C-alpha cells in the first residue's frame, strides 16, 4: 500500500489517499475494467482501519474489501453469487479443490461467514437477496446436506458504506463516465432459475437467444457475463425484472 499526503499552510502533512499496488497474478483479472463505466472507487477510513487490523485468518475478507471498493457502483444493484465472492476471497484453485474435499468445504463455509462479517464491520451493507433460510436464520442451526451448492448459488447484494456515498454527493467528479453507465446483467443463478421457471431446456433457451448451448452454460455458471447487446433480449425473454 502507498499513502498520498498533502502539506497544509502550516507545513503539516495530511493523509489524503491510499493506493493499493499489486503485481499481476492470480487475482489481477478481477480488477480489470471491461466497460465504459468507470468508477474510481473510494476507501473509507474505517475500511483502512479494518484492512490494517485483519490477520492472516481473514485474508479473504481483505481481498473482498479491496475488490468491492472498486467493483460496487453507487446507484446500481450490486449483486454477486456466493461462487463469485468466494473465488475472489479464496481463489479458483481452492474452490475447485473444495469440490472433492468435504472438510475443506466446511472450512471455507466457516471462513466465508466470518469474512462477510468483517466486510460489514468495515461499513458495508451486506444482504442475502436470494438464498436458503439457514443462511439468514440466527438460530444456530447446522448447515443442511447440500449446503455447499446452496451457498454457491446464493445471491448477495452489497451497498457502499455511508461515508463513501456522502463523499460522492460532495464530490460528483469521483464518478467518471456516469453518462455511459450500463445495466448490470443478472447473475448466472438468477438466469438459470428464470429459465427453469419457464420450463425451458438449455437447448431451447439457446435457440431463443440465437446462441449456442455452451453460451448458456457459460452465463449460468458466471463464467461469462451477458453482453450489453444481448441483455435487453435476455431480460425480455426470461421476463426478469418485469
Tell me the DSSP string of 97-152.
Answer: HHTT-HHHHHHHHHHHHHHHHHHHHTT-EEEEEE--HHHH--S-PPPPTTHHHHHH
Is 50 exceeded by the pLDDT of residue 3? yes
Picking from 25, 13, 17, 16, the residue whose alpha carbon sits closest to that of residue 1 is 17
Give me 235's grid cell.
431480460
Residue ending a domain, among 184, 204, 232, is: 184
Q: Are residues 204 and 180 in the same domain?
A: no
Q: What range does the domain containing 113 cover?
A: 2-184
Give me 113's grid cell.
461467514
Q: Are residues 118 and 217 in the same domain?
A: no
Q: Are residues 203 and 135 in the same domain?
A: no
pLDDT band of 2, cuts 50, 70, 90: low
Query: What CATH number did the domain enclosing 205 receive?
Result: 1.10.260.40
Q: Are residues 177 and 189 in the same domain?
A: no
Q: Are residues 48 and 81 in the same domain?
A: yes
Lowest mean pLDDT segment, chosen from 37-46, 100-109, 190-199, 213-222:
37-46
Q: Are residues 200 and 233 in the same domain?
A: yes
* CA–CA dist 144, 152 (Å, integer): 14
Q: Are residues 220 and 158 in the same domain?
A: no
Q: Are residues 198 and 103 in the same domain?
A: no
* Total tally of structural domains belonging to the chain: 2
pLDDT band of 170, cuts 50, 70, 90: low
Q: Are residues 179 and 221 in the same domain?
A: no
Q: Are residues 139 and 158 in the same domain?
A: yes
pLDDT in tens, 26-85: 555 555 444 444 444 566 777 777 777 776 778 889 888 888 887 777 767 788 899 999
Residue ending a domain, among 134, 157, 184, is: 184
Q: Are residues 12 and 83 in the same domain?
A: yes
pLDDT in tens, 82-126: 999 999 999 989 999 999 999 999 999 999 999 999 999 888 888
Q: Are residues 39 and 140 in the same domain?
A: yes
pLDDT in tens, 110-166: 999 999 999 998 888 888 888 888 887 766 668 888 999 999 999 998 888 887 777
Give me 184's grid cell.
448490470
Burial letters for 76-105: b for 16+ Cβ neighbours within 10 Å, e otherwise?
eebbbbbbbbbbbbbeeebbeebeeeeeeb
Amino acid at each position: 500500500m502507498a499513502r498520498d499526503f498533502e502539506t497544509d499552510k502550516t507545513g503539516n502533512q495530511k493523509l489524503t489517499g491510499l493506493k493499493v499496488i499489486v503485481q499481476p497474478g492470480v487475482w489481477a483479472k478481477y480488477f480489470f475494467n471491461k466497460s465504459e463505466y468507470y468508477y474510481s472507487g473510494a476507501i473509507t477510513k474505517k475500511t483502512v482501519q479494518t484492512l490494517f487490523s485483519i490477520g492472516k485468518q481473514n485474508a479473504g475478507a481483505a481481498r473482498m474489501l479491496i475488490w468491492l471498493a472498486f467493483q460496487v457502483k453507487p446507484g446500481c444493484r450490486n449483486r454477486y453469487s456466493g461462487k463469485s465472492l468466494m473465488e475472489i476471497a479464496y481463489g479458483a484453485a481452492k474452490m475447485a479443490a473444495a469440490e472433492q474435499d468435504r472438510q475443506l468445504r466446511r472450512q471455507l463455509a466457516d471462513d466465508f461467514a466470518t469474512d462477510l462479517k468483517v466486510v460489514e464491520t468495515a461499513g458495508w451493507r451486506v444482504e442475502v437477496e436470494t438464498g436458503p433460510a439457514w443462511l439468514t436464520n440466527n438460530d444456530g442451526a447446522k448447515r443442511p446436506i447440500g449446503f455447499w451448492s446452496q451457498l454457491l448459488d446464493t445471491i448477495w447484494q452489497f451497498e457502499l458504506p455511508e461515508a463513501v456515498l456522502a463523499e460522492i454527493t460532495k464530490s460528483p467528479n469521483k464518478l467518471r463516465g456516469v453518462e455511459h453507465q450500463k445495466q448490470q446483467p443478472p447473475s448466472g443463478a438468477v438466469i438459470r432459475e428464470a429459465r427453469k421457471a419457464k420450463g425451458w431446456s438449455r437447448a431451447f433457451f439457446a435457440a431463443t437467444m440465437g446462441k449456442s448451448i455452451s453460451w448458456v452454460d457459460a452465463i449460468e455458471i458466471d463464467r461469462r457475463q451477458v453482453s450489453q447487446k444481448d441483455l435487453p433480449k435476455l431480460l425480455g425473454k426470461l421476463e426478469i425484472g418485469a
